[in-house]
Chain A
Amino acid sequence: MLTAILAITIMALIFGLLLGYASIRFKVEGDPIADQIDKLLPQTQCGQCSFPGCRPYAEAMAAGEADINRCPPGGETTIQALADLLEVEAKPLDDECGVEKPKTLAVIVEDRCIGCTLCIQACPVDAILGAAKQMHTVISDECTGCELCVPPCPVDCIDMVETKLNPNTWRWPDPSHVDLTLEDQS
């Protein structure tokens, strides 16, 4: 009886030490799942998901505290990608968060800008350039179209403009719809 208890206690100690060592030796930096989720998110940092940015939302999803359908800028494609990654059922976008819209860019109407810097403080990616009492302007290449700069503007001089397709960003249309109609017929 005593030997049995002793043996099991010693074994428990050894395994405990082993596990403790392994957890230090093979420690994974950061949360890999949260990283993977973060990669799939569009990084607009708009906060429509009710989290303050894409990273917090990704962490919440990784912890199972948030649903996968709370990202309007990513839309259906992002939901599908998240569903594939987390091996859950894809579901339609949560209306609470907003609706999927075409991509937009913020444009400051420069005649009306009074140089209050409120939009600069609101921009999550530092895409607005300007100084106090100087005209501000949006660096269009860096703008994610999050719309966070629109509400703080006291003179309402920021317009969200739909990004225009040009011959360089144009994509060949998907030809498969032709086949699909054929398959429907047969």
Chain B
Amino acid sequence: MTTPLGSFPGGLVLDGQKKRSTYDAIRKTPLSKKLILPLQQHIGAASDPIVQVGDKVLKGQKIARADGHVSVYLHAPSSGTITAIDEQPIPHPSGLSALCITIETDGEERWIDLEETPDFTTLSEHEIRHRIREAGIVGLGGAGFPSFIKLNPGVHHTVETLIINGVECEPYITCDDMIMRERAEGILDGIEIMRYALRVNKCVIAIEDNKPEAISAMELALARRNDLHNTSVVVIPTRYPTGSEKQLIQVVTGKQVPSNGLPIDIGIVCHNVGTSYAIGRAISHGEPLISRIVTVTGTDVKHAGNFETLFGTPMHELLSFCDTHREANEPFILGGPMMGYNLSGDHLPITKTANCILVGVDNAARQADPLPCIRCGECATVCPVSLLPQQLYWYSRSKDLEKTREYNLFDCIECGCCSYVCPSKIPLVHYFRFAKTETMNHELETQKSDNARLRHENRLERHEAEKKEKEARQRQRKLALAATKAAKEKEQAEKAKTAESQSDNQEK
């Protein structure tokens, strides 16, 4: 570690609570009889099903294809029969349903033929991105953004540094910690492939200093590999929310990602350790993304730990596997205590973005009995993006959406630091999420009504033009008619004249 670390304003030092779930090694969750796979488990457009009810599928077989650019493929996590393609409740703060594919597993776990590529350098960068997309890989840190897009710097950017995010700053969550301890080699495989796809020389693996085991495991694996140059493990101080992409970049490089910008704009690409491992498996072994490691912990969980779980596994099966005592209808958290959200039903499936389930832990964004804001300014002190949460709160509350924009609402990363420190227990992040979705919805409606106006105007114009055309046609026809009539009359008159003159001649 040669360059000094940077830092970001605000942030919090929280009690990690990570010990409980790191006693045991990663275990495999038993195969569920029924797997429910939402078609949208990533940011972007939902995948498009390519199987039909009654079809037999093999483990790893594609069951839905990417629809549009920002989308990925979806695979059958186990062999079995498709029993339904319909709307099912999905893990989402709204509690709404979305289109899902349900597979009844046969317990045989028969794989499709996997295309192994021991030497990835035989593939082009484009082929690698294509395979990563076909393998259904999305960011496993929690956001679920399709990874192949982040591995495409485009012609206008050159990438200087690849940052591998092993920070895991939120309390309780330990899935990244455990994957680094146990699968360091696999993570390095993924790093090598990503470096090749991005043509980047320098790589930094960032780990918080509260994970000494993970740090030594990664360093040991790195020391064994003499082909990975310019790759180093950087130990960074434990502070929430360092694991957030933009904050991590600030800590590691001292550079700030511009507002409305992307890390690529300053020559940096950031990927999670779990994603890196998945990319390694996908390219070298041809395995699509069909499972992830989920942390299950909390005071009500007897055998807390990390579980490699197939997507689609109902949460209640995972919870009962680790002996959880949860009252019926007792809410539990999906995600961490700071940024996660409450779920009430446990028949929801594990998805690509489900990194942690907490049972018996209070959500840090407390919602009970908020008191009036006393303008103490604590929220502004802890905000890692230097916003003014109290101002945003007033404007969000009075639904002054324009003002919230002026105060850069869309730079808010929803880390929850402000809600956490608020002495009045105001659910600030909830207000910001509310204002964000209101603004987005308002924009969508304006766009739609503008579109409708344009279509209506075009229609009126067309009708006008048609009317004019018709009139012109009628006029022309009338003129033509009049002309023929005149011609006929003239002819007749001439005929009459000649007849007259003939009769005159005869008379003579």
Contact = CB atoms under 8 A, between A and B. Distances in A.
- The answer to whether A and B come from one shared complex is yes
Interface of A: 38, 41-45, 53-55, 124-127, 142, 144, 165-167, 169-176, 178-179, 182-183
Contact of B456 (A53, A169, A172): A53
B453 A54 contact: yes
A42 B430 CA distance: 28
A127 B437 contact: no
Contacts of A167: 40, 90, 92, 94, 96, 98
A127 B459 CA distance: 11
Contact of B455 (A41, A142, A182): A142
Contact of A125 (B90, B431, B455): B455
Contacts of A165: 94, 96
B330 interface: no
A55 B450 CA distance: 12
Given A124-B459, A167-B90, A179-B370, A172 B452 contact: no
Interface string B449-461: 1111101111100
A144 B436 CA distance: 24
21 contacts: A38-B453, A41-B449, A43-B449, A54-B453, A54-B456, A124-B456, A125-B455, A144-B448, A144-B452, A169-B441, A171-B434, A171-B437, A172-B433, A174-B434, A175-B427, A175-B430, A175-B434, A176-B397, A176-B431, A179-B370, A179-B426
Please give me the 3 A-B residue pairs with the lowest Cβ-Cβ distance, nearest first.
A43-B449, A43-B452, A170-B94
A125 B459 contact: yes
A182 B506 CA distance: 120
B472 to A, nearest CB: 22
Most chain B CB neighbours (cut-off 10 Å) among A44, A45, A142, A175: A175
Given A171-B434, A176-B397, A182-B370, A126 B459 contact: yes
Interface of B (DSSP majority class): helix
B430 A182 contact: no
Contacts of B67: none
Q: How large is the interface on B (under 10, 10 to 19, 20 to 34, 35 or more residues)?
A: 35 or more
Contacts of A173: 434
Contact of B458 (A126, A127, A172): A126
A111 to B, nearest CB: 22
Contacts, number: 80
Nearest to B91: A167
Nearest to A176: B397
Interface in B76-105: 90, 92-94, 96, 98
B216 interface: no
Contacts of A179: 370, 372, 397, 426
A126 B455 contact: yes
Contacts of A45: 452, 456
Contacts of A127: 455
Given A43-B452, A142-B455, A170 B371 contact: no
B369 interface: yes
A95 B160 CA distance: 65
A128 B458 CA distance: 15
Contacts of A170: 92, 94, 96, 437
